[in-house]
Amino acid sequence: MRLVNRPLALILAAALAVAAVFVIIEVIAAAVHHSPVALPWTTWYRWASRTRWDQLVIQVWSAILIAIGAVILAIELKPPRVTRLPLRSPHDATDAAVTRRGLAKTLRAAATGIDGISAAAVTVGRRRARVTATAAARGRTAAEALRQPVTQALQERLDDMGLRHPPSLTVRVNTRSS
Amino acid sequence: MHADRTNRTALIVFGLLVFAAGGAGITASVGGFGQAFSHRTLFGNRVSAYIGHHGWVWYAAAAVCLIIILAALYWIMVLLVSTDRADDIPIPVATHEGTTILLPAALTDALTREIGAYHGVEAVRGRIIGDADDPEIVLAVTASQTADLHALHQRIETEALAHARKALGQADLAIQLDLAVSRLRNGLIEARPVRRPGVTVAYTLQLETGGVRQWPHRAQTRWKYSGMCGGARRRPTSTWATTARPRRARRCPARASASTTSPARARRTAARPGGPGWSARASSARPGACAI
């Protein structure tokens, strides 16, 4: 968000400043009867004086403005993605959290630390953590046998972390493909 | 002035104005304000007529534009040069003979050094933001994957952060603590002296990803192994190396390309390869061995 906002804000500020400079120049030029100087505003004035509201060009430009405004509002009002999950802290003034990626790596380490699990993929969201572990052995029976210990180990790891709102855990154990 | 918040507010206002202008235009065009209005020209309304007959409106507009220019220039300056970092922090002391100033860098250095020495911590970054009278500490701690995050959090809270609050004399000092976890999955570090006196090479067996972030500011040769490897005494196949700190190079240019870790850290790293706090598995916790 911040990465998008800064260049957007810079462009907007520069555009506002330039437009304001042009207005001042033209007002002064009109006052001394030398208008137009920097912008062909008399042409625009004549165009606006003969263009009616129900013409297609007005609808097109209105649609363009609506689209631009909607995009900007969507970018600004979209809730930011959860990047940190708050931890229970003994001090009220401390805002402690574990990063979403950090939690995913911790869960992944916990899953792969179990004998029989060769790999794990973890996705941590706002409310749910999905772990897809891959059993080292082939066969559905072996994978099913690992599901309970993997779930237990991951749940213990989650509980031990002291998260304020721990995500619910969803564990899948896949068999190794060929 | 918090530039990010201002940016967002200004962009929301701008987006609303543009959206409203477009909506009004399309409404007028399709006859939402009456069919008679939609058949008029753009300037065929009372507001345009008023502006056309009163020249002072343009002078007022020019004055408003002047204010807009000043505000926009100030906004640009804030965007380009401002920072949210705190200035020097005055320490409340019970004397009227002077003011004690605490440099933010001194506080963050002390904090990062203390937390960096904790078990399971791989890297610490800190900064102080906000007003000097009401600062906020932002800490980012990277722990190893095998670290007990809860215990680490409690220790940071009860020791380092308590020390910071005591140093500043603010019991309710706002602190943001972000705990991250290292990318390094399995690692084994072997430090040993080389022929050049005072120089120690730290070999890092890194099996999963690049970028050991423990000493990003140190000149250090880091070796990355891509598969099974033999003894650490055998020169490994290097994939990349870095020498990021020029200070050592100035003192002793011939050693600049070699790894330079402090003797204390070398002893520490040599004493506990694969031990507690290191992310090597038990099967690979011996010098020169690694597991994929």
Per-residue pLDDT tens digits for B228-274: 333 344 444 333 333 334 444 444 333 333 333 344 444 443 333 33
3-state secondary structure of A77: helix
Residue B207 pLDDT > 50: no
ipTM greater than cut 0.90 = no
pLDDT at res. B155: 92
Rounded to 10 degrees, what is the CA torsion of B228, B233, B235, B237? 20
For range A100-116, the mean pLDDT: 89
Which residue segments constitute the domains of chain A, with CATH numbers given?
2-77 (no CATH), 85-174 (3.30.70.1350)
Closest-CA distance of chain B to residue A139, Å: 23
Q: Which residue has the higher pLDDT, B67 or A142?
A: B67
Measured CA distances, B252 to B196, B197, B240, B247, B255 (Å): 11, 12, 22, 9, 6
Q: Are B291 and B283 in contact (CB under 8 A)?
A: yes
Residue A112 pLDDT > 90: no
Identify which of B23, B40, B150 has the shortest CB distance to residue A53. B40
What tens digit of pLDDT does each residue of B274-284 get? Answer: 333 323 333 33
Q: Where are the beta strands (DSSP E) in B1-134?
A: 89-91, 100-102, 121-130
Q: Do A95 and B177 touch (CB under 8 A)?
A: yes
Q: How many other β-carbons are positioned within 10 Å of the β-carbon of residue A158?
A: 19
What number of C-beta contacts closer than 8 Å exist between A and B?
Answer: 226
For range A57-84, the mean pLDDT: 92
Q: With an 8 Å Cβ cutoff, is A89 touching chain B?
A: yes
Which residue matches tokens 């790894």?
Answer: B259
3-state secondary structure of A17: helix
Query: Where along chain B do its domains lie?
Result: 3-81, 90-181, 187-284
Q: CA nearest A105: which of A157, A167, A164, A171?
A: A157
Closest-CA distance of chain A to residue B117, Å: 19
Global pTM reads 0.60
Residue A93 pLDDT > 50: yes
Q: With an 8 Å Cβ cutoff, is A58 touching chain B?
A: yes
Q: Do A97 and B23 touch (CB under 8 A)?
A: no
Q: Which class is domain B90-181?
A: alpha beta
